[in-house]
Chain A
Amino acid sequence: MGARWLRDMAGVILIIAAGVVGYWLFPDNLALLTRVIAVALLVLSLDLITGYCGVASLGQASLFGAGAYAAGIACVNGVTEPVTLVAIGAVAGATAGLLMGTIMLRAHGLAQLVLSIAIVQLFHEAANKASAYTGGSDGLAGLMVSPLFGVFEFDLWGRTAYLFGLALLVVVVVVLKFVVSSPFGMLCRGIKQDPVRIRAMGSYVFPVLLKMFVISGAVAGTGGALAAISTQVVGLDSVSFELSANALVMLVLGGLGTLYGALVGTVIFMGFEHVVSAINPFHWMTMVGALLIAVVLAAPGGLTGLYETFLGAGKRVKGGRT
């Protein structure tokens, strides 16, 4: 038990350290880094239902977008305090999670995946239609967020936004560490492997998964709100299939079911994309594709899996011969 605590602590400290290093190393890219954090929250939220519960989703951006639009609409209507906006985003995300879970958990496998696609498309369509509130495809512009704690402005350099985002991320990761190492987290992992077994243990499956959807929604909503606050514009892309699919790709790239995988995947994917698209804005897609292929060939279990493979290679049994 002690060891596990220590490991979790170390993980959180590592995240903070990485965040601070990012701040010193790339002081001119803070808007990008803030965006990475917002997306990392989305990917984390996806990890909760995919990595821990085995419910793959290609519609996770519905929850992110719900948070973003809720925060955005609240902000345009005079609620400009950033922490409140994040709370609004989280609540909206959780509500959307409840809705999405209720629908998605009716199906299994591929059909479930398709439900998630249908849901994100419906959200997208609704956001497009409700242009009076959302700005439709022109985006919801004109968010004037007041300074954080009345002091720190969300400015051009994006320091406030970045540090605020980093703090949010750390809080979320700590909370999620508790969630996934609670009995509830273990139950979810059991359901992922064999729901029939879990039912035979006397536990309903649906409410447990639904609960995780709500938590996941809150996390994604937080990410959405952070994106809205730091960008000051909310676009339809925040409830799109593309964002959902990207989130899934980043998660699988990093590795499922560890929380760290979600973070690693997001940073690597977005960082790589940023670098190659700056080097050659016209033909970088090929490079990203090659990265994905290379990762599958080298580390089928995702990048965090690679790390474990390296660790595991030390303790080979008898083998060595071929």
Chain B
Amino acid sequence: DTIKVGIIGPFSGPFALQGKNFQAGVEAYMALNGKSVKGHDIEVIYRDLPTANPAQSRALAQELVVKDKVQYLGGVYFTPDAMAITPLLKQANVPLVIFNAATSAIMTQSPLVVRTSFTTAQTTSPLGKIAVDRGVKKVISAVSDYGPGVDAEAAFKKAFESAGGQVVEAIRMPLNTNDFSPIMQRIRDSGAEAVFAFLPSGPTTLGFVKAYNETGLKQAGIKFFAPGDLTQESDLPALGDGALGLLTTFHYAVSHDSPENKKFVEAATKAIGGADQLSFPSVGAYDGMHVIYKMIEATDGKQDAQKAVDAVKGLSWTSPRGPVSIDAETRHITENIYLREVAKGADGKTYNKEIQTFPNQKDPGLATQ
């Protein structure tokens, strides 16, 4: 028999790169672990959802469940899209494994959701201590003005202030900002010693980092802290040498030094068609597939969402990103968060170099609830 898995993600449009990473992760996993589990063949169906669009997301999920008869749903890049699917899960008797969408609250919407990515709070929080350790007392935060940005701002502020620092100003920048020089001017005027930034990966990141260099903030010694979205590997070639020295925290670096990751990177590169396109969503997808495989194993091909989810609660394994486990209570992934510095490799290309590890981080966003 064939078990179908429906993957929803941004495979075209402005976020096509992230969608391609989903696909690469899925294909890498299947290439390395076979296309069947316990004799059940696995078939993956991709459905494109280019930008956040809950109505479309629901329509796609419904079609996958009702028409294509998928037993597992996976993928989902944006939070509202996940929110639109959760109400269907119970009736559909289908678990949803989230490969990316990073708002804490999704997990509370349905007991049939499992997440293998990260939350913004989870990747950001260690930065508070890191900043203080590096002698920074006053930080200005600059985040994109939307859900994840606001999450990042709050998480950093909490972590930084409890470590003894002070956020002197919090700037929220519209998502479609093209020229960041005025923001840099403001950062300079604030008198802060460092800037904490969050922007979604893509063209604006480039503008932000460029402006940081060009307006002389870097020369003036103002430090730069951010979660790893800002230096995702696929953006690094465009950022060029300007990114050297940027400090970011994240759950995964393509450069992560482990045998699991080597295998993964090799397989994923083959799937995506170019090493420079690979970045974090691929590992979310890879581990997502791992979870789905485990679910299939546990249910032996029968459609039983609750049993499937229960089977992976507490599951732990070694992911390309390092040791991880699914928190039995929140169903969210527990993982290491790494501090990385953008450095230049032997081949002259820049990469995220892991320099410090914060082991077994849960999602502080959920922990507080």
Contacts and interface: CB of A to CB of B under 8 A. Distances in A.
A233 interface: yes
B20 to A, nearest CB: 7
Interface in A264-279: 277-278
Centre residue among B19, B51, B63 by max chain A CB count within 10 A: B63
Interface stretch (B8-16, B129-137, B358-366): B8-16
Contact of A281 (B11, B67, B105, B174): B11
A138 B66 contact: no
Centre residue among A30, A137, A234, A283 by max chain B CB count within 10 A: A137
B12 A284 contact: yes
B20 A235 contact: no
Contacts of B20: 282
B36 to A, nearest CB: 23
A16 interface: no
B65 interface: yes
11 contacts: A30-B62, A32-B63, A35-B59, A131-B147, A136-B146, A156-B91, A157-B62, A157-B66, A237-B52, A281-B11, A281-B12
Given A156-B91, A235-B53, A237-B52, A139 B146 contact: no
A155 interface: yes
Contact of B48 (A158, A235, A242, A281): A281
Given A30-B62, A35-B56, 16 more contacts: A137-B79, A138-B80, A138-B83, A141-B83, A141-B86, A156-B62, A231-B58, A232-B84, A235-B81, A242-B51, A277-B48, A278-B47, A282-B12, A282-B46, A284-B12, A285-B12
Nearest to A156: B91
A137 B52 contact: yes
A237 B84 CA distance: 13
Interface in B75-93: 79-81, 83-84, 86-88, 91-92
A103 B54 CA distance: 30
A128 interface: yes
B205 to A, nearest CB: 17
A160 to B, nearest CB: 13
B111 to A, nearest CB: 15
A63 interface: no
A46 interface: no
B310 interface: no
Contacts of B63: 28-29, 31-32
Nearest to B10: A281
A38 interface: yes
A236 interface: yes
Contacts, number: 123
A209 B146 CA distance: 36
A227 interface: yes
Contacts of A285: 12-13
Binding site of B, secondary structure by majority: helix, strand, loop or mixed? helix
B303 to A, nearest CB: 14
A168 B168 CA distance: 53
Contact of A137 (B58, B109, B147): B147
B55 interface: yes
Given A158-B62, A281-B46, A28 B55 contact: no
Interface in A127-174: 128, 131, 135-139, 141-142, 155-158
B48 A137 contact: no
A227 B55 contact: yes
B145 interface: yes
A31 B84 CA distance: 12
A31 B62 contact: yes
A38 B80 contact: no
A138 B47 contact: no
A236 B80 contact: yes
A277 B19 CA distance: 14
Interface in B205-227: none
A238 B80 CA distance: 12
